[in-house]
Homo-oligomer: A and B are copies of this chain.
């Protein structure tokens, strides 16, 4: 990821998975269509702990996604129903590197 990009780290514990998969898939579709979306990775373990990292071109893109109307509805459902807890870190990417066996 380029310096200047933003990474949003969403760490959560799921308590009720009923209906969560469809909502998460819809949010992924919606995020991909947002201006400034650069990509994301998401993993959830069998114990319900999950980490999703989404990458954004600018801070304005992060704010626009947070304030998206349909996303706000999903956020409310998350608090009311799906999550035991979550944490969200908004971060500025300073440097990235990687390895690929290719």
Contact A11 B92 (CB under 8 A): no
Interface size class of A (residues with CB under 8 A): 35 or more
Per DSSP, chain A at the interface is strand
A12 to chain B, nearest CB (A): 9
Instruction: Choose the segment among A17-25, A27-35, A40-48 that binds chain B (4+ C-beta atoms closer than 8 Å).
Output: A40-48
Q: Which residues of A contact B (CB under 8 A)?
A: 1, 7, 9, 11, 15, 41-46, 49-51, 53, 78-79, 83-101
- A sample of 23 cross-chain residue pairs with beta-carbon separation below 8 angstroms, ordered by A number, consists of A7-B7, A7-B9, A9-B9, A43-B43, A43-B50, A43-B51, A45-B45, A46-B46, A51-B53, A79-B99, A83-B101, A84-B101, A85-B98, A85-B99, A85-B100, A85-B101, A87-B96, A90-B93, A90-B95, A90-B96, A91-B92, A91-B94, A92-B92
